[in-house]
Amino acid sequence: MLFSLIAKQMKMLIRNKQPLIILLVMPIVLITILSNALGSIMDGGEEAAIQANLLIVDNSSWAQEEKAIKLFLEQEGVTGPSMDALLTQFKSSDPIELLNSTILASDEMKKYIEVDYKKKVDVKIARQDENIDGILNIPADFRVSYIKSAYFNDTNFPELSLYLNQDNEIRASIIESVLTDWKRGYTQSAALLAADLSPQEIMNNVVSVEKVEQVLEANERKIPASIYYTVGMLVMFALYIPSFLAGFALQEVQWKVYDRILLAGVSPVLYTLSIFFTGTLVAFIQQVIMLSFGMFVLGIEWISIQGMFLIIVSYSVFIGALSALMTTLQFRTKTEGIANLFNGLFITVFSFLGGSFFNIRDISETLGKIGDFTPNGATMSAILSIQKGQDLSVIWPFMLAIYVLVIICVFLSIVFFPRRGVAE
Amino acid sequence: MLQAINLSKKFKTKEVVREINMELSAGESVGLLGPNGAGKSTTISMLSSLVQPTSGDVLWNEKSIAKKPDPLRKAMGVVPQEIALYPELSARENLAFFGRIYGLKGELLETRITEVLKKIGLSERQKDIVKTFSGGMKRRLNIGAALLHRPSILIMDEPTVGIDPQSRAYILETVKQFVEEGMTLLYTSHYMEEVEMLCDKIYIMDQGKIIAHGTKEELKALVSENQTIQLKANILTVNFEKSLGEQFPKATIHIEEEILTISMSKSEEPLATIFALAAANSVVITSAIVKVPSLEDVFLHLTGKALRD
């Protein structure tokens, strides 16, 4: 029965042009306009992408170094089967192979670092390319030097050159973090090999990805206008859902359809619950559409999907609770006054305080703090915090504010529900 | 089956229904006749458990519905005066929704919908959106939505308001069929001819009170000692009406739409006097009809006003 009520409310919403225009078309148009119009001001020329471009100039190769390695091993008295065994062991723990095939090749790492491989490139010229965030230059005798130091206590460690483009600190830090880890791993390889461990066993890609994520936490991602206004409009336009649903409910009372529903044995509590679930569902769908629009049309890369899911579900629950409260109040007053007041005044004030139009903290920190107590403001702050790359724990105070508001809405719905019936 | 005992309803200080007693037995068709504002819809709302009475009680199979309305609700179909449908949904979708909230599903629901659509003559328009329907079609669907769960008692509140004569005739024929099939019916209207056509027993209501009840014959007997004379004239002056009142002090005189209606005892022979008074007041009578009593006359006799006032 609950499903029938929800399905009917969804049909009513879908078949009315006005809700569709206000809930979907208007925010999409505004996101597009505001992102473009205010993009240059807000973004300050900084790009939001967190994928770093790494150029690996590999002057070495196993084929060209094999002869030199064998010669060195013979000089050290390693011949025959001992030499073959050492070469096999080395091949399996070749640091360059490990870097290319394991660390940088993982799907997780590919999200953060895009690698371009070249041979014999003029590094000076390559460094002038603004699109390259880091250049790793591997010398021609890297493997020979590595074997000497790792297996024969040669103190001359193989020298690598890493050039970082400091124009984008986050991306440079990502590259530096991964390569420093890798470098630390293979410089310790002698000790590891002595303990019968291969560098792969501790230098796996998961560790490297975690390092990247730590870098992202330490260096907040810049929020471009496209992200800011997608979130701003998303939280603002979800607030229109309760007045539409409460309006439909009032129409049902006026058309006497509500009487028919009651006569069929549907309790007022179940009816209000159906409004709550419809509001939650519609808000969730609306937010998913907005976020997908941001992703597929504006090219936004949403990070921390689990955190985002938690936030939009929580906000959707609030919208559901507000829909139930507004329906209750309209049933009690039997007019659309409450919805009109909410649409005309509250949404504007909440959106202003919550920062949907611009970052309210730019003009007043106090107003910004007040805005964090509005449901839309709390949701917006939570989403933007995790989009900056902050830890998921930063959202809990905002979630607390949202759920306190949910409880208030549910409590008021129970208190104000007209127990003597709506018909009287 | 369904009984109203001393049923009253007060909205703030206004008492809209006053100590009503009614009874509907199984298979009976009962009419509730009264002018607009008489309290018919409030009475129906109380009888159908939607509105709590201020005092009195409603019994369904001798049990009060005040605390347990569900048995009555399950057995009853209510057709409200308003078009209680979703205009954005199709006829079939509307019926499917109302069927589902009554717990019907699957094949049974589909069968019932098809059955009801056929009964109300909307099978061919079942996929059309209700807002594209004519007033008559909406009224028919409004009735159909109350039939899906096969109620044993059907309560209809002015189901023919605001529709064309053709649709009205169709609806009345349909309701007549329900009655012939043995469905218990409570039918409210201010069209006495509808109530006269459909109902065995009639309650006449005015200003929140039942002022008379009984079969058609019993009610007409109340005025069988009377005669009704309807006059049409070139002009109906106040002086003429006053002169008639003075001449026939026991008569009820009423003017509506250029027709003067006089109800008086059959013992009098008034035509010669009426024509003389007309001439004295420079009124030229163009037609004069002496009528047998109708429910309209009963209402006029009981309240001193026409049913549609």
Interval B75-129: pLDDT, tens:
999 999 899 999 999 999 999 999 999 999 999 999 999 999 998 999 999 999 9
Contacts of A53 (CB under 8 A, 6+ apart): A113, A114, A116, A131, A132, A133, A134, A171
pLDDT over 70, % of chain B:
97
Sheet of strand A113-118: strand arrangement = A113-118, A52-58, A134-138, A161-164
Nearest-by-CA chain A residue for B85: A257
In this complex, which of A255, A264, A424 lies closest to B101 when CB atoms are compared? A264
Q: How far is Cα B140 from Cα B117, in angstroms, rounded to an integer? A: 9
Dihedral, A177, A183, A186, A190 alpha carbons, nearest 10: -120
H or E element, residue A116: strand A113-118
A256 contact residues in B (CB cutoff 8 A)? 80-82, 84
DSSP letter for A393, please.
Answer: G
Q: What tokens does A44 get?
A: 């300050």
* pLDDT(A214) > 80: no
* pLDDT(B305) > 70: no
Quick one: which of B121, B134, B183 has its CA closest to B162?
B134
Q: What is the overall mean pLDDT for chain B?
A: 88
Find the range with the poorest average confidence among A63-77, A195-209, B37-51.
Answer: A195-209
* pLDDT(B250) > 60: yes
A259 contact residues in B (CB cutoff 8 A)? 45, 50, 78, 80, 84
Interval B14-31: pLDDT, tens:
899 999 999 999 999 999
A253 contact residues in B (CB cutoff 8 A)? none
Give the pLDDT confidence score for residue A211 in this predicted structure. Answer: 65
Question: CB B101 to CB A261 under 8 A?
Answer: yes
* pLDDT(A220) > 60: yes
Interval A91-133: pLDDT, tens:
777 888 888 888 888 877 887 888 888 877 777 787 888 788 8
3-state DSSP assignment of residue A277: helix
How far apart are the CA of B101 and the nearest CA of chain A, in angstroms? 6
A193 — pLDDT class (breaks 50, 70, 90): low
How far apart are the CA of A243 and the nearest CA of chain B, in angstroms? 18
B64 — pLDDT class (breaks 50, 70, 90): very high
What is the residue-wise DSSP string for A339-384?
HHHIIIIIHHHHHHHHTSSS-GGGT-HHHHHHHTTSHHHHHHHHHH
In this prediction, residues B183-206 reach a mean pLDDT of 89
Q: How far is Cα B250 from Cα B267, in angstroms, rounded to an integer? A: 12
In this prediction, residues A393-407 reach a mean pLDDT of 93
Domains of chain B (ranges plus CATH)? 2-220 (3.40.50.300), 225-292 (3.30.70.100)
Give the pLDDT confidence score for residue B18 in this predicted structure. Answer: 93
Half-sphere exposure of B195 (CA within 13 A, CB side): 30
Q: What is the 3-state secondary structure (H, E, C) of A199-255?
A: HHHCCCHHHHHHHHHHHHHHCCCCCCHHHHHHHHHHHHHHCCHHHHHHHHHHHHHHC
* pLDDT(A407) > 60: yes
Question: CB B73 to CB A259 under 8 A?
Answer: no
Find the range with the poorest average confidence among A179-183, A350-354, A404-408, B125-129.
Answer: A179-183
Estimate to the nearest angstrom the gap between the alpha carbon of B288 and the chain centroid.
Answer: 29
User: Which residue is listed with tokens 């006005």?
Assistant: A18
| Pairwise pLDDT comparison (A50 vs B265), residue with the higher score | B265
A257 contact residues in B (CB cutoff 8 A)? 84-86
Question: CB B76 to CB A15 under 8 A?
Answer: no
In this complex, which of A12, A260, A420 lies closest to B84 when CB atoms are compared? A260
Contacts of A330 (CB under 8 A, 6+ apart): A246, A247, A249, A250, A336, A338, A339
Question: CB B74 to CB A423 under 8 A?
Answer: no
> How do B259-265 and B252-256 pair as beta strands?
antiparallel
Give the pLDDT confidence score for residue B29 in this predicted structure. Answer: 93
3-state DSSP assignment of residue A137: strand
In this complex, which of B78, B84, B88 lies closest to A16 when CB atoms are compared? B88
The CA distances from residue A178 to A59, A134, A357, in Å, are 20, 11, 39
A46 — pLDDT class (breaks 50, 70, 90): very low
Quick one: which of B279, B300, B269 has its CA closest to B204?
B300
Q: What is the 3-state secondary structure (H, E, C) of chain B?
A: CEEEEEEEEEECCEEEEEEEEEEECCCCEEEEECCCCCCHHHHHHHHCCCCCCCEEEEEECCEECCCCCHHHHHHEEEECCCCCCCCCCEHHHHHHHHHHHCCCCHHHHHHHHHHHHHHCCCHHHCCCEHHHCCHHHHHHHHHHCCCCCCCCEEEEECCCCCCCHHHHHHHHHHHHHHHHCCCEEEEEECCHHHHHHHCCEEEEEECCEEEEEEEHHHHHHCCCCEEEEEEEECCCCHHHHHHHHHHCCCCEEEEECCEEEEEEECCCCCHHHHHHHHHHCCCCEEEEEEECCCHHHHHHHHHCCCCCC
Give the pLDDT confidence score for residue B32 in this predicted structure. Answer: 92
Phi, psi dihedrals of residue B258, rounded to the nearest 5°: 65, 20
* pLDDT(A312) > 60: yes
Q: Could you tell me if B50 lies within 8 Å of chain A, comparing CB atoms?
A: yes
Contacts of B39 (CB under 8 A, 6+ apart): B9, B16, B17, B18, B205, B207, B208, B209
Half-sphere exposure of A219 (CA within 13 A, CB side): 15
Q: Could you tell me if B164 lies within 8 Å of chain A, comparing CB atoms?
A: no
In this complex, which of B50, B98, B149 lies closest to A262 when CB atoms are compared? B50
Q: What tokens does A276 get?
A: 């709550």
| Pairwise pLDDT comparison (A235 vs A177), residue with the higher score | A235
Question: CB B102 to CB A264 under 8 A?
Answer: yes
| Pairwise pLDDT comparison (B247 vs B227), residue with the higher score | B247
Find the range with the poorest average confidence among A150-159, A403-412, B34-43, B260-269.
Answer: A150-159
Question: CB A256 to CB B84 under 8 A?
Answer: yes
Q: What is the overall mean pLDDT for chain A?
A: 83
B98 contact residues in A (CB cutoff 8 A)? 260, 264
Using an 8 Å Cβ cutoff, are A145 and A177 in contact?
no
* pLDDT(A198) > 60: no
pLDDT over 90, % of chain B:
48
Half-sphere exposure of A27 (CA within 13 A, CB side): 31
In this complex, which of A263, A266, A420 lies closest to B52 when CB atoms are compared? A420
Can you give the residue ranges of every domain in chain A?
2-45+222-416, 52-218
B137 — pLDDT class (breaks 50, 70, 90): very high
Nearest-by-CA chain A residue for B48: A263
Number of other residues whose CB lies within 10 A of the CB of residue A75: 8
In this prediction, residues B216-231 reach a mean pLDDT of 80
Question: CB A5 to CB B52 under 8 A?
Answer: no
* pLDDT(A377) > 70: yes
Question: CB A423 to CB B48 under 8 A?
Answer: no
The answer, as to whether pTM is greater than 0.80, is no
The separation between the first and the last C-alpha atoms of chain B, rounded to the nearest angstrom, is: 33
In this prediction, residues A61-87 reach a mean pLDDT of 81
Number of other residues whose CB lies within 10 A of the CB of residue B244: 22
B81 contact residues in A (CB cutoff 8 A)? 256
Interval A277-292: pLDDT, tens:
999 999 999 999 999 9
In this complex, which of B78, B82, B103 lies closest to A263 when CB atoms are compared? B78
Q: How many residue pairs bridge chain A and chain B with CB atoms within 8 Å of each other?
A: 73
Give the pLDDT confidence score for residue B111 in this predicted structure. Answer: 95
Crossing angle, helix B238-247 and helix B271-280, to 10 degrees? 140
Give the pLDDT confidence score for residue B94 in this predicted structure. Answer: 96
In this complex, which of B52, B73, B101 lies closest to A4 when CB atoms are compared? B101
3-state DSSP assignment of residue A302: coil
Give the pLDDT confidence score for residue A27 in this predicted structure. Answer: 93
How far apart are the CA of A281 and the nearest CA of chain B, in angstroms? 19
Question: CB B76 to CB A5 under 8 A?
Answer: no
Interval A222-260: pLDDT, tens:
788 889 999 999 999 999 999 999 999 999 998 889 999
| Pairwise pLDDT comparison (B63 vs A64), residue with the higher score | B63
In this complex, which of B50, B83, B102 lies closest to A423 when CB atoms are compared? B50
